[in-house]
Amino acid sequence: MSTALEQIGANRSFGGWHKRFRHASATLGCDMVFAVYLPPQAEHGPVPVLYWLSGLTCSDENFMQKAGAHRIAAELGVAIVAPDTSPRGADVPGDPDGAWDFGHGAGFYVNATAAPYDRHYRMYDYVVSELPALVEAHLPVTAVRGVAGHSMGGHGALICALKNPGRYRSVSAFAPISHPVDCPWGQKAFTGYLGADPAQWKAWDAVELIATAGERLPILVDQGEADGFLAEQLKPEALRAACAAAGHPLTLRLQPGYDHSYYFIASFIEDHLRHHAAALLR
């Protein structure tokens, strides 16, 4: 793993700093950019960190600019790290038809096993292992971690927590793709990254992982009832049923009138940050 971080941006925000960094990723075989919000408390010592995983078409910038999370993170003393959503670059294959729901901006937080994507698309290893090791080595944060995300990133947050008992103290999601083996977005991505055998997909599906999870970490999920992707792509009721069957603690809040946008995220991000802080700061 490369240990060099190149700072490419810095902005003062609510007494802390929003910074962007570039580094060479050995896991992904390309340069990657990520953002971090360091609250004012980080100037006096390391703080816990929430890893935020964004959705389809996003980069590190969307959440940091649109979610309105800095003010509450500054109050609570929690850092936020936002990676990109996929490897990128001229040598990184994307969707052959240029579609927005696969390839660049759509890494789905899995470790690809099918060519040609297996060389670069190892976003799971990147967000679980390489990026935290880099962040914890070079920035004033501790190894006390939470994970959250939106849509594709909500799927990512859930599987990262479910597959790694003890690694995270908290988990939450906005409108997650809860059951990707049973929705068009997930089926397309998993076929491309993992191959055509659906049996291989289940290891990357939150609904399939709940029953055998090695830790019953409480899950907070917010879902807009006016979300245009709700019925076909997101499947929150499948997540509810799986959690009920396994006795896994889930708070699933259906929010009337809210859609899939960052207006929805900004409306409830304070609740999620406080949910994480209760675990990260205990």
For the segment 165-206, what is each residue's pLDDT rounded down to a tens digit? 999 999 999 999 999 999 999 999 999 999 999 999 999 999
For the chain, domains (ranges, CATH) are 6-281 (3.40.50.1820)
Read off the pLDDT of each residue in 18-31 and give the average, rounded to a whole number: 98
Stretch 232-238: mean pLDDT? 98
pLDDT at position 1 over 70 = no
Give the list of residues 6+ apart from residue 21 with CB closer than 8 angstroms, or none: 5, 6, 7, 8, 33, 34, 35, 36
Quote the pTM value. 0.97
Q: For residue 103, what are the CA distances in angstroms to 56, 85, 193?
A: 10, 10, 9
Is 3 a residue whose pLDDT tops 90?
no
pLDDT surpassing 90 at residue 45: yes
> Could you give the residue numbers annotated as active site?
151, 227, 260
Per cent of the chain over pLDDT 70 is 99
Contact 37, 64 (CB under 8 A): yes
- At 11 the three-state DSSP class reads strand
pLDDT at 209 over 70: yes
Residue 63 has which token pair?
A: 């959440």
Terminal-residue alpha carbon distance, the chain: 32
Q: What ranges make up the beta strands (E) of the chain?
A: 6-13, 16-25, 30-38, 47-53, 79-83, 141-150, 170-174, 219-224, 250-255
Calculate mean pLDDT across residues 70-78.
98
pLDDT of 169: 98
pLDDT surpassing 60 at residue 2: no
Query: How far apart, in whole angstroms, are the C-alpha atoms of residue 98 and residue 123?
Result: 20
Edge-to-edge strand ranges of the sheet holding 47-53: 6-13, 16-25, 30-38, 79-83, 47-53, 141-150, 170-174, 219-224, 250-255
- Interval 245-269 mean pLDDT: 98
Q: What is the mean pLDDT of residues 74-96?
A: 97
Element (H, E) at 268: helix 262-280
